[in-house]
Amino acid sequence: MTFYELNYPLANGQSYDFSQLKDKVVLIVNTASKCGFTPQYKGLEALHKKFKDQGLVILGFPCDQFAHQEPGNEADIMEFCEINFGVTFPLFKKVNVNGKDSIELYKLLKKQDKALVKTIPWNFTKFLVGKDGKLIKRFAPTIEPETLEKDILAALA
């Protein structure tokens, strides 16, 4: 399966077809509402607003696999993100990013990232995917979204 063949349900239940991402640069992030890195939502939203018209798409995948830091349901998550950070980029239904129940997207990303030791280390791990649907770079949870502008601009060029 390729990146553009994927399809996942958004937090609101609507289906999201990855074929619409052709020729776009995509930043994929596994998110959580009760994490020390949760304030990164603000930086992610800022990147979304700044670069969406140039072809950047940010996709948030809530995940509860790390210390139960995403305990709410999808409605709770959407409300939290909107009220606290004004998030307007797509948020998906909760997913697993590690283990046998990991979604196909994360299996694909991990297969392409030779430096990754087969597991996502924590919430807010970021993956930058190029216009060709291939992984460009993975960023650790500690990397603030604001510092990704150079890589995003290079990918958009």
Encode pLDDT of 31-54 as tens digits.
999 999 999 999 999 999 999 999
Position with higher pLDDT, 66 vs 113: 66
Share of the chain above pLDDT 70, in %: 99
Q: To the nearest whole number, what is the mean pLDDT of the chain?
A: 95
The helix-helix angle for 40-51 and 149-156 (nearest 10°) equals: 30
- The domains located in the chain, with CATH, are 3-156 (3.40.30.10)
Q: Against a cut of 0.85, is the pTM above it?
A: yes
Catalytic residues: 35
CB-count burial class (<10 Å; 0-12, 13-18, 19+) for 48: buried
Q: 114-149: per-residue pLDDT in tens?
A: 776 678 999 999 999 999 999 999 999 999 999 999
